[in-house]
Amino acid sequence: MNTMMKTTISNTGIWQGRHPDRQQCLQMLEDYHTPEHVIGHCKAVAAVGYTLGRALNERGFRFDLDLILAAGLLHDMARVEDMHWEAAAKYCEARGLRQEAAIIRVHMTYDPFNDLEHLDETDLICLADRTVLEDRYAGIDRRIDYIINKAIRQGHPEHKPHILRKKNETKVLIDSIEAFLGCTMDQLMERIDYENVEHVK
């Protein structure tokens, strides 16, 4: 392993630094046998969360972008398992990645979002996850349309009002972020680089 890396894995497998970088997260996903399409989704969530965090940091917030990148890349690593959020959180905890684990554990059910001035990294990952469709940013409207259609296909049209209520709550947060940034989330994600977001402005 490159000794210049700020984060290293000790012999016991416990992280001695803070957060694994992209390459290290991708290695964990490979070791875990996470399917390629899930990895694509994880990259997209990481990229959207990172882009939001960086834009907010440029205007005074202090998000830990390394944490956002790692938590995004690892959040669905166990998605093909039952209670995948718990499995992935345990995997991270076992390696000393407590903050990543805490975000991953709640990402499926996180509710409600904090308001703008109290946003944290969990909010940004969960917001990113709810605006990504498979491996691309889609925005809240397309993502929710997809979820409603899926519920209908699966014989549960009665879920629609609840899904729309949740969408409206998420919209409140998106509206406040967009007003603060002076641009829309769609605009912010226009030129996103899913493979290299941390090195591209």
Residue 83 or 179: the one with the smaller Cβ distance to Fe ion is 83
Question: Which is closer to Fe ion, CB of 40 or CB of 96?
Answer: 40
Task: Name the strand (E) or helix (H) holding 72.
Answer: helix 65-74
CB of 168 to Fe ion, least distance (A): 21
Give the span between the Cα atoms of 92 and 179, in whole angstroms: 35
Q: Which is nearer to Fe ion, 166 or 181 (CB)?
A: 166
Query: Interface with Fe ion by CB under 5 A: which residues?
Result: 76, 129
Token pair of 7 as six digits: 């984060």
**Which CB sits closer to Fe ion, 135 or 181?**
135
The SS3 of residue 30 is helix
Structure token pair of residue 103: 């975000």
Q: Rounded CA gap, 124 and 103, in Å?
A: 10
In angstroms, give the least distance from the CB of 136 to Fe ion: 13
Q: How many CB atoms lie within 10 A of CB 108?
A: 14
Residue 40 Cβ, how far from Fe ion at the closest point, in Å?
A: 11
Least CB distance to Fe ion at residue 49 (A): 11
Distance CA 43, CA 68 (A): 11
Q: In angstroms, what is the minimal distance from the CB of 100 to Fe ion?
A: 14
CB < 8 Å & 24+ apart, contacts of 153-160: none
Kindly tell me the burial class for residue 118, based on how many C-beta atoms sit within 10 Å of its own C-beta (0-12, 13-18, 19 or more): exposed
- Find the radius of gyration of the CA atoms of the chain: 17
Q: Identify which of residues 9 and 46 has a Cβ nearer to Fe ion in the complex.
A: 46
Asked if 113 contacts 126 with a C-beta cutoff of 8 angstroms, the reply is yes
Nearest distance in Å: CB 8, Fe ion: 28
Residue (9 or 130) nearer to Fe ion, CB: 130
